[in-house]
Structures are given as C-alpha cells and as structure tokens.
C-alpha cells in the first residue's frame, strides 16, 4: 500500500504548460534556470511534480483588493 505523503503526480512538460497556460518552451526555460523543480526519469525523460505547478500558481496569486465605498 502506498503512503499518501509520498505519492505525487508527475506531469510531462506539455501537461504542466497546459495547467499554467504557457508554452512548453517557457517551462523548459524555467527548468534550465532552475525556477521550477524537476524529476529526472532515466537519462532524458523529465517530469514536473504537480506540487511545483501548485507552488507557481500560489506564488503568482495576488489577492483582490477590497472595494471601498
């Protein structure tokens, strides 16, 4: 039985790009600049943890201002 804390969904570059509404080339550039973490599978395959995508979204989220009356 897998432990929920160690279970992590891994995304392909294209999937992460779709979720963040950016081009795959942007994700690859972020990987090269180490702006986003990666998991290497074998020598060539690269995957991005879903938690990394969530982190980028949460860091970029700006709360709405309160409406003054």
pLDDT digits (tens, 9 = 90+) for 1-57: 455 555 689 999 999 999 999 999 999 999 999 999 999 999 999 999 999 999 999
Task: Please report the pLDDT score of residue 45 as a whole number.
Answer: 94
Task: Please report the pLDDT score of residue 5 as a whole number.
Answer: 53
| CA–CA gap between residue 66 and residue 45 (Å, rounded) | 45
If we measure between CA atoms, which residue out of 47, 46, 59, 50 comes closest to residue 19? 50
| CA–CA gap between residue 2 and residue 12 (Å, rounded) | 22
Is it the case that residue 62 has pLDDT exceeding 90?
Answer: no
Structure-block tokens of residue 24 = 């795959």
Task: Please report the pLDDT score of residue 16 as a whole number.
Answer: 96
């Amino acid at each position: 039985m897998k432990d929920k804390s160690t279970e992590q969904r891994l995304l392909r570059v294209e999937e992460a790009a779709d979720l963040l509404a950016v081009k795959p080339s942007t994700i690859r550039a972020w990987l090269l600049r180490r702006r986003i973490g990666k998991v290497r599978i074998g020598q060539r395959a690269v995957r991005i943890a879903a938690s990394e995508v969530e982190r980028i979204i949460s860091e970029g989220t700006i709360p709405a201002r309160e409406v003054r009356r």
